[in-house]
């Protein structure tokens, strides 16, 4: 309902979320009335959004935030509401006239893969034609993948970020499957990411802005929440939160608003990180940052027992260049502290909790 989104905008403005960089309040599927109006335009459900989307957008903007909305490339949304098929220009103009700042464009009920691709291209052009700056969030590769390898070069021409994998759920198995999939496909997806276009580990049913972080809900342990925050930063993922900010613990808020992690995630160089080695239950990931720095994540996939040590040579990092001839190392997660200066030939021993991650800046 509009009241829910207004309350979420209030909390984002009042409790530091906006200042930490979370700008968008995003509405997902089911906001619409079951039919278009007499002019063929989409309309909000009159009971749950009595003021309409324009009023809600004005309210969200008054808080220094932006509004995101949902539609679908096919003739119906995933939940069965009116889709944008054959209405791309009209729907883009409608969203722009309402003051919408982001469109999540789903891929249900699209018919053939040719119609899917044509719809994503046409909506991109229609959004640009409105003259309003609207972030375009696509699900194009996710719907292509079961049948064919997505052409990411083409997708980046049209979309600002694109979803590759299934809905994220509030569970460790879901987070783990996303990380495993990303590592398996990193040769095809890492190189395309950069300013203007990003791989999205998931945009599922969401309330509010982090891609999508389920931190602050109920299914993840503390170490697993740290892992999600660290790895989404390594992956240069858009950060969308899927949680109720009115009922979030101070610990979860501190993690989601951690300025050092957000700075890594939003690094202007815009390069996505990747896995550089896997050894039994440990994974070592790195992400090149601006200023010749690197973010490094040590992930312990072990699910039982206590903390374990992982030791690796610093020559592993940055093709041997990250610490040549020396580097300073700072731990960012699970808690921030300086580790000091190390030489190129040093080894580093990192203690990591089960299903946890230690995030370093080198």
Q: Which residues are catalytically annotated?
A: 106, 167
Instruction: Please state, in angstroms and as integers, the Cα–Cα distance from residue 270 to each residue in 68, 157, 238, 263, 318, following that order.
Output: 23, 16, 11, 11, 16
Of 5, 14, 49, the residue nearest 31 (C-alpha): 49
Of 256, 249, 295, 240, the residue nearest 272 (C-alpha): 295
DSSP code, position 167: P
Residue 50 CA from chain centroid, whole number: 30
Residue 101 exposure: Cα atoms within 13 Å on the Cβ side: 14
Of 144, 139, 43, 133, the residue nearest 87 (C-alpha): 43
Token output for 252? 């979860």
Residue 54 exposure: Cα atoms within 13 Å on the Cβ side: 7
User: What are phi and psi for residue 357, nearest 5 degrees?
Assistant: -140, 140
Omega cis (within 30) before 334: yes
Cα distance between residue 81 and residue 98, in whole Å = 19
Omega cis (within 30) before 167: no
Task: Give the containing element (helix H, strand E) for 186.
Answer: helix 186-189
Cα distance between residue 335 and residue 338, in whole Å = 10
Residue-by-residue DSSP string for 291-306 = GG-EEEEEEE---SSS
């Amino acid at each position: 309902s509009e009241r829910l989104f207004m309350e979420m905008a209030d909390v984002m403005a009042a409790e530091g979320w906006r200042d930490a960089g979370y700008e968008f309040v995003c509405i997902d599927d089911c906001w619409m009335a079951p039919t278009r109006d007499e002019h063929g335009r989409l309309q909000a459900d009159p009971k749950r959004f009595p003021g309409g989307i324009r009023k809600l957008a004005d309210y969200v903007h008054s808080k220094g935030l932006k509004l995101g909305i949902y539609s679908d490339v096919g003739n119906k949304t995933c939940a069965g509401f009116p889709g944008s098929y054959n209405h791309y220009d009209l729907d883009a103009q409608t969203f722009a006239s309402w003051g919408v700042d982001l469109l999540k464009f789903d891929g249900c009920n699209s018919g053939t893969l040719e119609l899917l691709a044509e719809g994503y291209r046409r909506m991109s052009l229609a959004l640009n034609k409105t003259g309003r700056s609207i972030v375009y969030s696509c699900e194009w590769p996710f719907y292509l993948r079961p049948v064919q390898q997505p052409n990411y070069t083409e997708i980046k021409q049209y979309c600002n970020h694109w979803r590759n994998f299934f809905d994220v759920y509030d569970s460790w198995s879901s987070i783990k499957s996303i990380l495993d999939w990303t590592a398996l496909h990193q040769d095809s997806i890492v190189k395309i990411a950069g300013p203007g276009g990003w791989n999205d580990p998931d945009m599922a049913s969401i309330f509010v802005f982090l891609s999508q972080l389920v931190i602050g809900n109920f299914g993840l342990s503390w170490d697993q929440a740290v892992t999600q925050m660290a790895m989404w930063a390594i992956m240069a993922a858009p950060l969308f939160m899927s949680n109720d900010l009115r009922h979030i613990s101070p610990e979860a808020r501190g993690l989601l608003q951690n300025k050092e992690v957000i700075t890594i995630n939003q690094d202007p160089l815009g390069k996505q990180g990747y896995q550089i080695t896997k050894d039994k239950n440990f994974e070592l990931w790195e992400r090149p940052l601006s200023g010749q720095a690197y973010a490094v994540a040590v992930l312990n996939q072990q699910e039982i027992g206590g903390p374990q040590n992982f030791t690796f040579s610093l020559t592993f990092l940055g093709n041997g260049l990250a610490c040549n001839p020396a580097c300073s190392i700072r731990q960012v997660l699970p808690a921030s502290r300086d580790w000091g200066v190390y030489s190129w030939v040093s080894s580093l021993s990192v203690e990591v909790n089960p299903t946890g991650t230690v995030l370093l800046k080198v």
